[in-house]
Amino acid sequence: MVLFGRNIFLVEAFTVLVQLINPTILFIPAHFVPHWKMTGLFVLALLSLILTVLGLSTSDLSHECLRPCEWPAQPRTCRYDFTVEWYYSMSKACFDCPVNRTDCGRPDCIPLNGVPRPVAVVNRMFPGPSIQICAHDILEVKVTNSLKSYSEGTAIHWHGPHQFGTPYMDGTAMTSQCPIPIGASFTYRFPAETYGTHWWHAHAGMQRADGVFGALVVRQPDPREQHRKLYDRDLPEHVVLLHDWLDRVTLDKFAAHHHDNGSNKPESVLVNGKGRRAAFTDPATNETVFTEREVFRVQQGLRYRFRTISNAITNCALKVSVDGHNLTIIASDGSPVEPVEADFYIIYGGERFDFVLDANATVGNYWMRVKGLADCKFVQDLAVVRYVGAPDTDPTEDEKIDRQGVFVNPFNQEASETAIAIPQLNATEPDDGTSVAQADVIHYLGMDFYKVNNYHFHEPVNYPIEDVSRTHHLYSPQLNHLSFAFPPSPPLTQSRDIPAGEFCTPESMAAAKDCVREYCECTHTIEVKLGQVVELVLIDEGVTFDASHPMHIHGHSFRVVALEKLNTSTSVQEVMDLDKAGNITRKLSRAPLKDTVIVPDGGFTAVRFVANNPGWWLFHCHLEFHVEIGMSVLIRVGSEEDLPPKPKDFPSCGSWSPHGVEEDIATPVPCGGAVYLTPAKALLTLYLLLIIFLLN
């Protein structure tokens, strides 16, 4: 089997069990393994196979939907159960991990980087279950909220799938649905029509930042896969989730940063939830030991497709490279691009990049370097690319080497021969309606951190921004000088319950307030007509900080038609003037399709999409602290009549205040209490009557 065979289930189950017994014996010939272990392994593998066949496997990579994708497609319904709860890394389930490496693989042990802290997780896994299915499968995920001790609602967003015709399944709390209450469940069900490397994450509170996320890979059958000839293997274990990580719960850091002068920088970077930070001492040898790094195994002579996803939550651009190898970038955010060979690439929060690694080097161990930039510049993580036949040891190359050369997706830097910006990539999907000379509608969206009295963090009388020290200033990341506030009910399902005054535009707010000087907060909404070609020109004025915002759209992919860094700072007016003078060149053919894109600080990014998916779609910065305090806007596509029918008995929620009681519609209870005759009671009565009758 070229991709991976059905026997992956057995192999995978076997591997997990081998790891449980002793990870150090992996890939060691059988005759080196003690006899009792082999017998134990065989029995456990057999048991595991039976459990897998019965659909009771505990591992996400043994799901029946993880299979070579058939052509023509034979869709399956892929069911998952997600239980979201607060848990703990390095918990008692970890016993003597990492001193005893075997203990790190115990059930429910989440070692992370060795630092103990509360984590929000799905099924006590970190990252959460990896969903890997085929295009057109029906994905059905029952999410149960068990976040008891924190009493938070939750929702799971499918980051990448367009939800065309199923907007109710987008999983955005207070936009497409009510948060799932504690103790309740909500079952997402939608056809996986948007192929490629995607992911899922909580879209309620800051749970995503504390661990509620995982991969969602939608593969295509070989004949449909444009770059299929470029690689030999597309393995489920080569899905790579990258992210920054904090030593404490995100809310702690958020509160300290926003209400005081606490840091907003992460303490570490993790690869697939693994990293090294806390040092432990082995009492037997007195040696210092750490938690394990992620290892990716390759066979010399084969070419591998790697799928990387960034769940960065802070202003943390990540630079990815593999020592001794170049990377051939073939897709971003699920959409294929013409292959580009690079030394490294930079990935921002919410983005995905797929690359091919040609395992053509000498058999050995090579660092996969994930180096932090921006607010992550002092942290990095290393994983290992290990060739079959190489020893089970770390590479010897200096951990601090910073790879140079040709790269994709520059960070706050102008495009050049060596710095390939996103619009320089060429989509391989055919052009669409966005290729017209002039979009139907253009919205210029300015962004920066503005010095306004955001009353959530600066009470305007007692501690206004101008009265506290510079280190205590909270600058508001806004879009067109508006901070987004979610309405009291989700607009997709309960627009009639929302007072009209909740929604706003910069123009409607300007009538009441000077939002440049005063803090303005409302449900900022851009309305577009169904079928319109919409262009958003995103301008980062870049005056306050050098932060860059990765902007993510729900419900669509956009074409990135222009991206330019102009200076250390700019203004909306400057970019509008440039445009008016014809000085912004748009790429109108084969512009890359993405759903998340960076806006250079002191520059602009222009994106276009055909508004063909009716709904209310959030468009927002993907940095957790920015979206949390309103760096979002709703894009309403079409009208109420254009929406697909709402699923029956869809949950609702909203504000309430006392205004009388409901009319008493209960059936009057007869004297002595009501007698309700159910079929069972009727049968029993008949039976008793029959006995009495026969006995007489």
| Interacting residue ranges for Cu ion, rule: CB under 5 A | 549, 621, 623, 626
Q: Identify which of 112, 355, 421 has the alpha carbon closest to the alpha carbon of residue 247.
A: 112
How far apart are CB 623 and Cu ion at their closest, in Å?
A: 4
Report helix, strand or coil for 369. Answer: strand
Q: How far is the CB of 622 from Cu ion (least distance, A)?
A: 7
8 A C-beta contact, residue 59 and residue 12: yes
Least CB distance to Cu ion at residue 258 (A) = 14
User: Closest approach of Cβ 626 to Cu ion, in Å?
Assistant: 3
Beta-bridged to residue 598, according to DSSP, are 550
Amino acid at 284: A
DSSP string, 267-298: SEEEETTB---S-EE-TTT--EE-PPPPEEEE
CB of 547 to Cu ion, least distance (A): 6
Give me the helix-helix angle, 8-21 and 35-53, nearest 10°.
130
Q: Which amino acid is at 208?
A: R
Residue 253 C-beta: closest distance to Cu ion, Å: 16
Distance in Å, CB of 524 to Cu ion, minimum: 15
- H/E stretch holding 307: strand 303-310
Nearer to Cu ion, 305 or 626 (CB): 626
Give φ, ψ of 573 to 5 degrees: -60, -40
For the CB of residue 620, give the shortest distance to Cu ion in the complex, in Å.
8
Cα 248 to Cα 278: distance, rounded to the nearest angstrom: 13
Amino acid type, 685: T
C-beta of 16 vs 623, nearer to Cu ion: 623
CA dist., res. 60 & res. 130, Å (int): 6
CB nearer to Cu ion: pick between 105 and 349: 349
Give the whole-angstrom CA distance, residue 48 versus residue 16.
10
d(CA 228, CA 2) in angstroms, rounded, equals 11
**400, 382 contact by CB (below 8 A):** no
Distance CA(304)–CA(570), nearest Å, equals: 42
At closest approach, how far in Å is the CB of 314 from Cu ion? 10
Q: Which is nearer to Cu ion, 271 or 553 (CB)?
A: 553
Q: Please report how close the Cβ of residue 618 comes to Cu ion at its closest, in angstroms.
A: 14
CB of 168 to Cu ion, least distance (A): 27
**Distance in Å, CB of 349 to Cu ion, minimum:** 9
Q: Which is nearer to Cu ion, 9 or 619 (by Cβ)?
A: 619
In this complex, which beta carbon is closest to Cu ion, that of residue 536 or of residue 621? 621
The residue among 195 and 558 lying less far from Cu ion, judged by its C-beta, is: 558
From the CB of 293, what's the least distance to Cu ion, in Å? 30
By beta-carbon proximity to Cu ion, the closer residue of 128 and 477 is 477
Strand segments (E) across 517-625 = 521-528, 533-540, 549-553, 558-565, 593-594, 596-599, 603-610, 615-621
Among candidate residues 147, 169, 168, the one with its CA nearest the CA of residue 158: 169
- The candidate with the shortest Cα–Cα distance to 430, out of 330, 354, 336, 534, is 336
User: Nearest 5°: phi and psi at 441?
Assistant: -150, 140
**Pairing verdict, β 549-553 and 596-599:** antiparallel
List the beta bridge partners of residue 143: 82, 186
Enumerate the β-bridge partners of residue 233: 304
Omega into 98 within 30° of 0, i.e. cis?
Answer: yes
Cβ closest to Cu ion, residue 549 vs residue 587:
549
**Complex with Cu ion: residue 386 or 622, whichever CB lies closer:** 622
Of residues 266, 531, 468, the one with CA closest to residue 381:
266
Q: How far is the CB of 380 from Cu ion (least distance, A)?
A: 22
Nearer to Cu ion, 273 or 349 (CB): 349
325 or 565: whose CB is closer to Cu ion? 565
Q: How many whole angstroms separate alpha carbon 121 and alpha carbon 85?
A: 6
Toward Cu ion, which CB reaches closer, 8 or 621? 621
- Beta bridge mates, 144: 83, 185
Closer of 253 and 307 to Cu ion (Cβ):
253
Pairing label, strands 138-146, 185-191: antiparallel
Q: Residue 331: which region, alpha, beta or left (left: phi > 0; alpha: psi -120 to 50)? A: beta
